[in-house]
Structure 1
């Protein structure tokens, strides 16, 4: 079937694409490679795909729209809400807040993920004095910012979520001990602000 592409900006040279819907299928996927988009696009906007009339089928609602962001920078910036956190070790379960900020012009917040890990004295890095397994429980894995967690703040979509950091209390009187949280993006669309805290 033939799909017409309506563009708010001239991103694509060709305004029509062919899509195959196999017998028995109810979903067809239209993929537009990045290489098909013109270089140096400077304006964002909507790209709407509409299915042309097909004999024997009702295509009145066969339409989908996506928002195209024209920018070189990542779509979302991910960071901790503060440069550092201080907790008493008897708090048990400490919380660190992560913030995702969508790029200007994004029509909504989207689910994004980063990899999170902790690093302490065992890494032999100067200044890290807390010991994994004795002072805190190590954390390693993915952290998702779900699309429904976003809200508009000053015209940009901003999402916030917490990560639980288990701390261990003991009877030894100690000074302040330090460990780090490391963030790693899962794709090139994610920018990490201050990845080591």
Structure 2
């Protein structure tokens, strides 16, 4: 690995150990075996590096074989079906124990957003990428083939559900919504939209 990759891996370890606010540039340098100048050269700033490390951690959660959100590509239920909806959510929920530290970090960033506006801006830009990954999981359409309408509607829908689920799960995993409850809830909402007002 080169300095760029070493910095990224060191920053990921620091984020999980210390969180965003408490991680210093010196922490990253010590953890990565690089030097202070490398951070500016490769990433521009410590905050930009930490945002990239955070995005990489989130991507890793969704892609982990066997426990990732697609469970290593094992989502076989038909596209657009409630079965696929339930399977993907079950995979996401199954991955939560291994990724608890990452979700705690996510909420630290949400709470610190007003204090570090540059980080908030960078994370806001990264959300679109997150939405495309979620839509792809549920629809089976490759991310590079998704249209803007899908990202702005379905992507926001799945992202909202995911964020709510994370809050529930971090607060009390035993009472958090499970995949069957989410699926039955969606089924009832769909059935209810056919009623006359």
Q: TM-score, normalised on structure 2?
A: 0.26
Structure with greater helix percent:
2
The structure with more radius of gyration: 1
| Structure with higher RCO (Cα < 8 A, 6+ apart) | 1
